[in-house]
């Protein structure tokens, strides 16, 4: 048996005058094109990584300017704890080494300072997360309740008997069912 080789790209003439054609026409990519494509993909990956670092760094510096390095937030609000329109209560919310702590100075009277302990923040970089406060009547009882905003979460402290207490699961279920 004899071995015969032929080029499939060029027409082959045999004795019956038929033309052999390739079954699949595939474009030939040069080595230069492949290297160029890989280089572009690596360059885009490097740009993505650098931009992520720059955005994270700038967000942290902006929070340093806004809240300080301990992430301190101040707000005045009238909540009905020995305060009034002329002398609102002063609130200081801090992220102290991942522990949310709120200091309340009712009516500006420093002899009645109260401390409210919030949640412990878990995760990488949570020691730099700012804690924000807002006040509204969540349970519709006529007193303004305190809402602690950390990242995308809101923790409600109800204004009850002259102090703020964290909302229980039953109260949360009633609130959700009523809305």
User: Could you report the per-residue pLDDT of 73-127, keeping only the tens digit for each?
Assistant: 999 999 988 888 889 999 999 998 899 999 999 988 889 999 999 989 998 888 8
For 137, which DSSP code?
-
Q: Which of 20-24, 28-32, 74-78 has the lowest mean pLDDT?
A: 20-24
Give the other-Cβ count within 10 Å of 96's Cβ. 12
pLDDT in tens, 62-84: 988 887 777 789 999 999 888 88
* Burial (0-12, 13-18, 19+ Cβ within 10 Å), 95: buried
The least confident of 4-18, 76-90, 108-122, 143-157 is 4-18
Q: How far is CA 52 from CA 13, 33, 55, 131, 141, in A?
A: 62, 29, 5, 23, 45
**Confidence at 55, pLDDT banded by 50, 70, 90:** very high
Is the pLDDT confidence value at 176 over 60? yes
Do β-strands 99-105 and 89-96 pair in parallel, antiparallel, or remain unpaired? antiparallel
pLDDT for the residue 100: 93
Return mean pLDDT, the chain.
Answer: 85
pLDDT at 4: 64
- Comparison of pLDDT for 146 and 67, the residue scoring more: 146
Residues 73 and 93: beta-carbon distance below 8 Å:
yes
**Is the per-residue pLDDT at 14 higher than 60?**
no
């Amino acid at each position: 048996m004899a071995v015969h080789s032929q080029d499939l790209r060029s027409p082959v003439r045999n004795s019956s005058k038929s033309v052999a054609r390739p079954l699949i026409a595939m474009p030939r990519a040069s080595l230069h094109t492949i290297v160029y494509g890989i280089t572009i993909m690596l360059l885009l990956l490097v740009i993505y990584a650098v931009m992520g670092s720059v955005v994270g760094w700038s967000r942290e510096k902006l929070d340093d300017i806004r809240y300080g390095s301990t992430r301190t937030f101040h707000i005045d609000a009238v909540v009905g704890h020995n305060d009034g329109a002329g002398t609102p209560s002063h609130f200081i919310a801090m992220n102290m080494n991942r522990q949310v702590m709120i200091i309340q100075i009712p009516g500006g009277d420093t002899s009645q300072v109260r401390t409210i302990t919030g949640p412990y923040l878990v995760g990488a970089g949570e020691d730099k997360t700012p804690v924000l406060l807002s006040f509204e009547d969540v349970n519709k009882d006529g007193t303004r309740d305190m809402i602690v905003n950390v990242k995308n979460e809101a923790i409600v402290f109800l204004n009850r008997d002259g102090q703020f207490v964290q909302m229980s699961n039953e109260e949360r279920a009633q609130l959700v069912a009523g809305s």
